[in-house]
Amino acid sequence: MESRGLCKGKIMTTTPHILAFGGSLRSDSFNQKIAALAAEGAREAGAEVTVIELRDYPLPVFDQDLEAASGMPAEAKKLKELFLKSNGLIIASPEYNSSLSAALKNAIDWISRAESDDEPPIAALAGKTALLLSASPGGLGGLRGLVHLRSILGNLGIIVLPDQIAIPTAHEVIKADGTLGDTKQSNKVKQLGTKLTNHLKKMLA
């Protein structure tokens, strides 16, 4: 049974709350599909999971002058609120030029910003636990991008689980409905979602 308490105005619960998304803006993103697959495993293990698409939160390129003039954009505030309500993150990141996508980095840059002088630094990110995945048509499956993403998230105070999956030749193995042609590989993706949930349950106990 879920237990609830109140801490600094936030509802605390023993049920893990996970935010899952792909780091691509493309409508038929391979990474969005595997994020949703990992989310299935997390739900089956008892987590409450919200799956979003970054393309639904259009953001300007982070510009400190823009922030000073008009504050945080409305879509960035909505996205940040989802992060604040989550204990864990499932991030499936495409690899662009051997690194993470500009869209994902830009979202992180906006979410990391404080909206008032009394807001703790990186409040929407620090202390959370993240699971990383990637998929790419290339032979490494987006692995090089995960190296950079892992470093960035770690520097922001996020615990990044050591287990990850990078799926090569994604255009051949990921079906239109988001399932994988290889059942074993599909199960491995879902099992990572389960591992994240189990880790968070221990953290919240």
Question: pLDDT (tens digit, 9 = 90+) per residue, 25-62?
Answer: 999 999 999 999 999 999 999 999 999 999 999 999 99
Phi, psi of 131 (to 5 degrees): -115, 130
Query: Does the pLDDT of residue 2 top 80, yes or no?
Result: no
* Planar angle of CA 200, 72, 126, nearest 5 degrees: 25
- Reported as half-sphere exposure (CB side, CA atoms, 13 A), residue 37 has a value of 31
Q: What is the pLDDT of residue 12?
A: 55
Confidence of residue 179 (pLDDT cuts 50, 70, 90): confident
- Residue 186 corresponds to which tokens in the numbers above? 């599909």
Q: Which helix (DSSP H) or strand (DSSP E) does residue 190 occupy?
A: helix 183-204
Q: What is the pLDDT of residue 99?
A: 96
Say how far apart CA 44 and CA 41 lie, in whole Å: 5
CA 152 – CA 133 distance, rounded (Å): 15
Determine what percent of the chain is predicted with pLDDT higher than 70.
94
Question: Residue 192 pLDDT more than 80?
Answer: yes
Tokens standing for residue 174: 């990921």
71-128, pLDDT tens digit by residue? 999 999 999 999 999 999 999 999 999 999 999 999 999 999 999 999 998 999 999 9
| The token pair that represents 177 in the structure block | 């409905």
pLDDT band at 182 (very low <50, low <70, confident <90, very high): confident
Which residues in 163-194 are b (16+ Cβ under 10 Å) and which e?
Answer: ebbbbbebeebbeeeeebeeeeebebbbebbb
The confidence score (pLDDT) of residue 18 equals 98
Rounded to an integer, what distance in angstroms lies between the CA atom of residue 49 and that of residue 86?
A: 9
User: Is residue 90 within 8 Å of residue 28, measured between CB atoms?
Assistant: no
Over residues 191-204, mean pLDDT: 97
Hey, is 112 helix, strand or coil?
Answer: coil
Provide the mean pLDDT of the chain: 92
Residues 6 or more apart in contact with residue 63 via CB below 8 angstroms: none
Angle (deg, nearest 10), helices 143-155 and 102-111: 10
The pLDDT, as a whole number, for residue 147 is 97
Reply yes or no on whether the pLDDT at 190 is more than 90: yes
Residue 19 has pLDDT above 90, yes or no: yes
pTM, two decimal places: 0.92
Q: Please check the confidence at residue 6 and state whether its pLDDT lies above 50.
A: no
Give all domains of the chain, ordered by start, each with its CATH number. Answer: 12-204 (3.40.50.360)
